[in-house]
Structure 1
């Protein structure tokens, strides 16, 4: 029991993997209904969990037929290398949100950047967007949803 409590305190609550955009959207809608204090806690948890998830890799928008034979070989080799890297990646595949904090893109794995900013005192506003609303701002990067966080900047 003590070991379980120690693991919980170090790692936080167990992470939920959102396998579909619909499941992720449901989380966004539910989180939108929370007061700001609870939104901050939910977003902190989701950010930490998204760092442990492998998001879908967007397909390259490239006219392969337009490439030279050498370019086509290089493209196929790069695709194969990407497939191999995905095959050995131990992280589960899931929907990862797109995060902006004070206008800066934040990678979930970069905890040193976002953790100090996401305290109840620092966060002024959280906007949670899904679907077309997220796509208008961030395009395909936000296909799974988007979180925009505004903090109280220190003078």
Structure 2
């Protein structure tokens, strides 16, 4: 998600859109963060949280893979960003709930604290890795494919988690 946030304007301008349009569409990610949280809250009342999060990650993966094909038009760019952006904000709600569900609340603070460092390093390093990939290939589609692949791996991991006991 952090790589997409950092590289979205660059990708959209490379797809031929004006910088003002690209920045406006990228700004949708903030609005969609709230929308994704609302959808998660409603969906988790009817479905297991792990399945909802897996569906969100799969949607983000599909959006990342399809964005290079759809971003040539304004409508396609907006649709791709909306599909990807719905997952923004989901992690901030889902992570504490999933940790408490999996490990209980007794050691929650210790586990959450232990996870904070590698998660923060990944969030900081992902845009750098994406920049290196974009520089090496000279294009954004491989970056979006890598983002899409990471989202699908996350979705598969969440689905695998639904089958294991707490």
What is the TM-score of this pair, normalised by structure 2? 0.29
Question: Going by fraction, where is helix more abundant, 1 or 2?
Answer: 2
- Higher-Rg member (1/2): 1
More strand by share: 1
TM superposition score normalised by structure 1 = 0.30
Q: Which has the higher contact order (CA 8 A, sep 6+)?
A: 2
